[in-house]
Amino acid sequence: MAAESLDVLAFNHPLYLDLFKSHVIRLIELLPGAPDDPIITRLSIQELEHAQDYEAISYVWGDPQNRVPIECNGRTLDITVNLDAAFRRIRYQDRSRLVWADAICVNQGNTRERSHHVSFMNKIYRHTKRVLACIGNDPDGGAENIAALISEHVERMSGYTSILDMPVLAADDPKFEDARWKCLGVLTRCDWFSRAWVLQEVGVAADPRVLYGSTEFSYRDLMKLLKWIVRCASKLQPAAGIWIRTIHTEWEDWGADWQEKTIYKYTLLDLLSHAKEVRCTAAQDHIYALIGHPLAQVEDGSGPIIMPNYEKSVAEVYQEFTIWMLSRLGLSVLSAVEHDEQTVNEHVPSWTVW
């Protein structure tokens, strides 16, 4: 008997009804299978604080129109090609794997539930056993070279207390001739690094792992390598096509003690400024994707400084956030204003920040 169809946009299955109270989440049991077997999953509902050990997937949604079918609780569910690829990358052949993925675990068609889950999204990723950053395929077969570069750098750093103590490479240092750097350049140009939501997804995790092709390595160690390139081997960036985004290298850790691990004493305004180049589908997410950072939490730790509400317009969200910023940081928020000829009206004063 063919599996009954489940409309991914309607979310009318009982598991998608009214899950917007307390910290209750859905989890996906990814059943075992060979690489080419159909994807079969089961959804369950669990209290976050008492949930079974699970892993969270960090990935790029991709084209929402490009979908493939999987089986979920005996019904057909259409998911994006990228999520299907992530499932196939992490699926075990001999046992199930319990995971969380936003496209399935949050009712994307219910703005109230979506708003509720975004308000504690940082907790969902913080409670995971591991966060798996599924970057995508390894087009040039260079993933092993990248893993080796990271391993060599970790060993190199072991002799220093801080990156500030490490010497800048001489212009003729033979390290610049290493062809493996171009493999790193290919990785840094992947779409995953340009997406807003991934910042929180790996930022709050204890030890996020990068899955690139068939290779796995530490996201934190990758960031250490990129920081070293910026400070000690900047010639590599143009030579090998290595794209280094400050929002990743300077904001890699969203833990409670994040400030102790940074050289500079950043503010919430700095976070917003560094994140302005990342992309998201909903414009409100330029704010909502960042409220899981400690700088965006109220002082008593009870939640974010503004509560997500996707029923509000983009202008309303930006206005609410800017009012909060003005009340706490004063007029310094105006230093983030940027205009071009299209956004300036010479007859009207304007201080639009975002």
Distance (Å, whole) CA 218 – CA 157: 15
Task: Provide the pairing of β-strand 97-100 with 75-80.
Answer: unpaired
> To 5 degrees, how large is the angle CA 169–CA 171–CA 176?
75
Domain edge (last residue) among 208, 235, 251: 251
Judgement on whether residues 29 and 47 belong to the same structural domain of the protein: yes
Q: Measure the CA–CA gap between 48 and 26, rounded to whole angstroms.
A: 9
Query: Do 244 and 146 lie in a common domain?
Result: yes
Q: Is 64 domain-assigned?
A: yes
90: containing domain = 24-128
CA distance 86 to 61: 10
- Answer yes or no: is 3 within a domain: no
Same domain, yes or no: 73 and 170: no
Buried b (16+ CB within 10 A) or exposed e, 268-307: bbbbbbbbeebebeeebbbbbbbbbbbbbbeeeeeebbbe
Place of tokens 């075992």: 32
Question: What does the pLDDT read at residue 70?
Answer: 96
- 149 and 96 share a domain? no
Q: Are 237 and 244 in contact (CB under 8 A)?
A: yes
Same-domain status, 244 and 294: no
Q: Provide the 10 A C-beta neighbour count for residue 114.
A: 21
Residues 124 and 165 in one domain: no
| pLDDT value of position 335 | 77
Q: Is residue 72 part of a domain?
A: yes
pLDDT per 10-residue tile (average), the chain, 354 residues = 40 65 92 97 94 98 94 92 98 98 92 94 96 96 98 95 94 96 98 98 96 98 97 97 96 86 84 93 96 91 90 94 87 74 57 51
In a domain, 2, yes or no: no
Which one of 128, 147, 174 terminates a domain? 128
Compute the distance between CA of residue 87 and CA of residue 79 in angstroms, rounded to an integer. Answer: 11
Neighbour order of strands in the sheet with 4-6: 4-6, 75-80, 67-72, 40-47, 24-30, 97-100, 55-58, 130-136, 209-212, 215-218
φ, ψ for residue 6, nearest 5 deg: -125, 115
> Do both 183 and 146 map to the same domain?
yes
User: Within this chain, do residues 33 and 70 fall inside the same structural domain, yes or no?
Assistant: yes
* Same domain assignment for residues 141 and 97: no
117 and 164 share a domain?
no
Alpha-carbon distances, residue 267 vs 55, 59, 251, 264, 308 (angstroms)? 30, 27, 11, 10, 21
Beta bridge partner(s), residue 30: 41, 97
Q: Which residues pair with residue 133 across a beta bridge? A: 58, 210
Asked if the structure places residue 175 within a domain, the reply is yes
Alpha-carbon distance of 245 to 242, in angstroms, equals 10
Residues 225 and 294 in one domain: no
